[in-house]
Amino acid sequence: MIIMGELPATERVSPRYEALDAWDDATILSSLWESQLAAVAAVQGALPQIAAAAAAAAARLQQGGRLVYVGAGTSGRIAVQDGAELPPTFDWPADRLMLMIAGGEAALTRSVENAEDRADQGAAAIETAGIGASDVLIGLAASGATPFTLACVRAATTAGAVTIGIANSPGAPLLTAAAFPILVATEAEPIAGSTRLKAGTAQKVVLNLFSTLLMVRLGRVYRGQMVDVQARNAKLRHRAERMVQLLTGEDPASVRQALELADGRVKLAVVLLQGLDRPAAEALLGAHEGQLRSALDSLPGRH
C-alpha cells in the first residue's frame, strides 16, 4: 500500500544508475538498452491479466459500447497513441473511441501544469461523456496514483463500465479502483521519475498486446491480416488488393472488381468472391458478427 511520504517505485533512485552521467556514451546506451529489455520482460507476468481484461472488454464492446483511454502526461500520450491507431488499422468506429488526457489536446505536445492533479475534472469528464455499462475504460498511470486518472477509473467503475487499470507500482490505488488491474512492476527508472523510459515502454507493450488481442476477438483480424483496414490511400488500396488475392486466390481483375463492389471493404470482398451477391454477403457477415472465419466456414463445401 502506498502511504504518505512513500515514493512509488517509479519515482525512486536506482543505485544501478547513480553514476550514469559519468559514464561514456557506449556504456550509457548499453545500460539504457538493458533497461528497456527489462521493461519488456516485466510484461510477461501480466499476460493472464491482459487476457482477462481483453475478454471482458470484447464481451462488452460486442454490445455496441465505446472504448475509452485515459491518462495524464507520458501515460496519457501513450494511451492516445494506441487508441488513435485503432480506426485506421482495424476500422474501429471513431464514434466509439474516446481519448481523455488530463489538460486536453494541448497536453499532447506540452506539459499542462496541475492538470493531472484535477480529480474533479476527471470525474466530470466521465459524467459529461455519459460513460456507462456498455463502455470499456482503460486508465494508465505509472505511479498508479495520478488523481485525474484515478478519478476517471473510479467514476467509470461506479457507472458500471468495464474498467482496466495499468500501473507500474505495486500497491497503487489504480489497481484497486479498476475491475481488471494490470501491474507491470518495472521498478526504478534509469533517471528517477522519468517514466517515459521503462514504465512507458512497458505500458506501450501492454497496450499493443491488449488492443491487438481485443481486435482479434472482435473479428478484425483474419489469417494474420488486418481485414478491416481502411483503404484510404494508394498504399492501403494496394494492400487491400493483396489481402483479397491472398485470401481467395482470385486473379487481380476479379479482386479489384470485388473490392469496388464492396466499397473497398476486404471482408465483404472476400465473401463476394465466394459467389454471393452483396446483400447476401452482408447478411452472412452480420450473422457472424463480422467474424470472417466463421462466416466462410458456414458456407457449403468450406471447412
Q: Mean pLDDT across the chain, nearest whole number? A: 93
Over 60: is that where the pLDDT of 77 sits?
yes
Fold of 234-297: Helicase, Ruva Protein; domain 3 (1.10.8)
Over 60: is that where the pLDDT of 299 sits?
yes
Q: What is the pLDDT of residue 4?
A: 41
Q: What is the pLDDT of residue 276?
A: 96
Q: What is the pLDDT of residues 148-169, one digit of tens each?
A: 999 999 999 999 999 999 999 9
What band does 5 get if pLDDT is binned at 50, 70 and 90? Answer: low
What is the number of helices (H) and of strands (E) in the chain? 13, 5
116 tagged catalytic: yes
Distance between CA atoms of residues 50 and 44, nearest Å: 10
Segment 140-150 shows an average pLDDT of 95
Q: Grid coordinates 473479428 are at which residue?
A: 219
Q: What is the pLDDT of residue 3?
A: 44
Share of the chain above pLDDT 70, in %: 98
- The residue from 116, 187, 189, 241 that is catalytic is 116
- Report helix angle 234-248 to 252-261, nearest 10: 110
Confirm if 137 and 155 have CB atoms less than 8 A apart: no
Over 50: is that where the pLDDT of 2 sits?
no
CA distances from 257 to 28, 148, 207, 226, 253 (A): 56, 50, 37, 20, 6
Q: May I ask the CATH class of domain 9-217?
A: alpha beta
127 tagged catalytic: no
What band does 144 get if pLDDT is binned at 50, 70 and 90? Answer: very high
- Answer with the residue of higher pLDDT: 182 or 2: 182
* Residue ranges per structural domain of the chain: 9-217, 234-297
Distance between CA atoms of residues 181 and 127, nearest Å: 22
pTM of the predicted structure, to 2 decimals: 0.91
Q: What is the pLDDT of residue 167?
A: 97
For the ranges 6-15, 19-28, 181-190, 280-289, which has the lowest average pLDDT?
6-15
Q: What is the pLDDT of residues 212-230, one digit of tens each?
A: 999 999 999 999 999 998 7
- The residue from 11, 18, 85, 187 that is catalytic is 85
Q: What is the pLDDT of residues 22-56, one digit of tens each?
A: 999 999 999 999 999 999 999 999 999 999 999 99
Confirm if 148 and 118 have CB atoms less than 8 A apart: yes
